[in-house]
Chain A
Amino acid sequence: MTAPLNISRRTFIKASALVVGGLVIAFSIPQAKRFLLPGAAKETGNAGEAKLPAPNAFLRIGTDNTITVMLAHSEMGQSIWTTLPMLIAEELDADWSKIRVEHASASPAYLHTAYGIQITGGSSTTWSEFDRYRQAGALTRQLLIGAAAEQLGVPAANLKTENGFVISGDTKISYGDLAEAAAKLETPKAVTLKDPKDWKVIGKATKRLDGPEKINGTAVFGQDVHFDGLMTAMVARSPVFGGSVKSFDASATKQVKGVQQVVQVPTGIAVVADNYWAAKQGREALKVEWDLGPNAGLDSKAMLEDFRSKAANPGLVAAQLGDSKATLSKADKLIEAEYALPYLAHSPMEPLNCSVRIEKDACEIWTGTQMQTTDQQAAAKILGLKPEQVKIHTLFLGGGFGRRANPAADFVSEAVQVAKAAGVPVKTVWSREDDVQGGYYRPMYLHKAKIGVDANGFPAAWEQVTVGQSIMLGTPFEAFMIKDGVDATSVEGIADSPYLKQIPNYHVSLHTVKTGIPVLWWRSVGHSHSAFVMESLIDELAHSAKKDPLDYRRALLKGHPRHLAALNLAAEKAEWGKPLPKGVSRGIAVHESFGSFVAQVAEVSVDQGTVKVHRMVCAIDCGLAVNPDSLKAQMESSISFGLGAAMQSEITFKEGKVQQSNFHDYLVMRMSDMPKVEVHIVQSTEKMGGVGEPGLPPVAPAVTNAIFAATGKRIRQLPIGNQLA
């Protein structure tokens, strides 16, 4: 049995005292050129000049030989808790069994080396930290060697390191024994990193360091935070986005045993109680009259019609070459198609929550967040504090998928507002219904494409109109990501498609629609819709030209070796072209996102309208695979996440309200629907890409292309649902 987590001042002091006498590594390295997200090509003045970050603290060595690695990024399942320590351990020659891991605090020291804020997203952690964490390890090793050289009176050059020891002939001194002396040495100005051929840790499948605590129930998520005096709050929010409280009656709520307070906050009415059950019952007893505001008429079907009418005309140009209009007018054959994708909720398993304690000139926040900087700033603004007066404790995230990286800091701001209004420490907890209906969805999109085909069956002209909401509009990223009215994330995977590069005439445009529905990046962001559309269209073209979909892609991707490497490996492992059991068909798709190239082959059968995905074969070229097993896990994960969305998930609106509420009607992947998954890694020395998201984009088109092969029916709207029934 485990004791409850009791986060008190005393615990913190004790924790700090443990490392007194040890070595805390603080150092600076030049920061990479800043850009905000992949795809944002140019640096703008707003980000400031590239400059040295404040001294960073990435690891400390205790006199007990433990090596504690501080993570600048958040662990949300992607295994960064293991991958970043691997980078340090490699260069430090550390004893892996002595590695401990902690989330770092919110601090300028931990700004993303490329994005300039503290954020976990964009499938960027490993490549963006590859140098910084290795350097931290190498620098620490150099200090330890320096301390040993002094102690033994031998030249540093005569010493070597291995498995947590500095070694001189037969003499071994443990890192813990050297830590105090090493801490007094001057920090080296430069370090040399190992030659990749000498790597022992990087590239080796390594088990998760957070495995044991997640298996025995002791891992602490935001939801598990507890300390004396912490109340639980639930907020009654407007049933329609943008609505507000007209009046409320809390008399029945206050009768509920355990309810302590009812307070109004900007987002609604908060019921503050001794525990979740009391807060929930209290909220159910609450009577609120809402002014539903301007969005009370929201209706998904009407919105789709509106999108459709907009798509009849070109939008703002995102990419253009040649004269597509003239070429289309004289093309032998035209392919015209409309594709549509719904709003999607992230619905991580851990419902949103945030604990806040406000004191004079200070605020402490405990939560699972992907975006500490904006959360810290938002809390500081609400409380009239400086950001550094707000301490953020990042706990394990019970899934993120983008939902816990909100530029609007919605769940953190609301918790701060509740704690401020109630005057007591508060943990706000969202119910599943709150999560499903609380917004920040993957936007709905509609695409209209018109493609002119040449005599060989290849596209000669390509016109595509995309309609949807902008994710970046109104966020701090707007200045970087929206150029000439075009949000790069709305058209990523289209405007920069490798297929278009083979076509002499194309015109890609965008209508950005404004609705009252809050939207946000959802695992793989714009690629979550663009890959489905592009890979379906290519499949349509291949079938129209009576060519094998694999060969057709190979022909178009001639100048794109990384696409081809993934495509060929997936096809080979799936034995593309070989007969399958009766009733089973294959579909293929390949897509680049976040610097990685992923191809997938789906094996699918359709029986009386029911789609069954039997097997997914996946190949990825992400450059160096630091931890091949966690890379495989991320592919499995993306396939599951993508399949659930492709098959069943959708958020719809009627009379302003979200029509889904929980996992009985917001349908996600379950064990019985999960196919066999095989992951193959392209041995690659190309530039490193990400792995958290790139496995998702090809999933839906691989499956729907297989459905076409099986049935002749082209799925042009997601989710697949019962379209084949």
Chain B
Amino acid sequence: MIILNINGKEEKLDVSDDMPILWALRDVMHLTGTKFGCGMAQCGACTVHLDGEPIRSCVTPIAAAVGKKITTIEDIQNDKVGQAVQAAWSEVDVVQCGYCQSGQIMAATALLTNNQTPTDADIDAAMSGNICRCGTYPRIRAAIHAAATKLA
């Protein structure tokens, strides 16, 4: 039995401790907002925050999250920056198929938490690990700038 703090709640999970956080969230907790895209930290669809830092949950075992706080897309509206990012996403109408967007929003929230005035180069550096096959990149960039303005 492993105890994890997920979105501020203590959860007991009866799974082996090498299970990636992604599958604990999706298949055990049924928190399906976090997506599976590649399974090897190549696409960013599974991005969640571990103690506020963006991580690829598909390659991070739950053992690494014990004693830390996992935050997922389902709870990011309770974060001031997350809320601004989601509002900007809506304002710019970023999404298309939407599958990668949870990961994009989690990555963008982490970026803006650490850097209130990201340049295009900062955005490239922080967001290039998150693939969007629909090509919403120009709107993601615009939404990050919009959120930064709103947070300033």
Contacts and interface: CB of A to CB of B under 8 A. Distances in A.
A2 B95 contact: no
B42 interface: yes
29 contacts: A1-B7, A1-B9, A4-B30, A77-B96, A208-B93, A211-B89, A211-B90, A214-B98, A215-B101, A216-B73, A216-B74, A217-B74, A217-B102, A220-B32, A223-B35, A226-B32, A277-B23, A350-B37, A396-B99, A432-B37, A432-B39, A633-B93, A636-B139, A637-B136, A640-B134, A640-B135, A662-B39, A669-B137, A671-B130
B45 A636 contact: no
B32 A1 contact: no
Given A212-B90, A226-B30, A275 B97 contact: no
A662 B90 contact: no
- The bracket for how many chain B residues form the interface is 35 or more
Interface in A199-225: 207-208, 210-221, 223-224
Interface residues of A, number: 68
A682 B121 CA distance: 33
A641 B133 contact: yes
B10 interface: no
- Chain B contact residues: over half helix, strand or loop, or mixed? loop
Interface of B: 7, 9, 15-16, 19-20, 23, 26-28, 30-40, 42-43, 45, 72-75, 77, 86, 89-90, 93-102, 105, 123-125, 127-141
A274 B133 CA distance: 30
Contacts of A401: 133
Interface string A398-413: 1111000000000000
A676 B86 contact: no
B97 A348 contact: yes
Interface in A620-641: 629, 633, 636-641
Given A671-B130, A671-B141, A663 B33 contact: no
- Chain A contact residues: over half helix, strand or loop, or mixed? loop
Contacts, number: 191
A520 to B, nearest CB: 16
Nearest to A1: B74
A672 B101 contact: no
A226 B26 CA distance: 10
A397 B128 CA distance: 23
A227 B56 CA distance: 26
Contact of A79 (B89, B96, B127, B131): B96
A663 B47 CA distance: 16
Contact of A669 (B74, B90, B135, B139): B135
Contacts of B98: 77, 210, 213-214, 219, 221, 396, 398
A193 interface: no
Contacts of B101: 214-215
Contacts of A78: 96
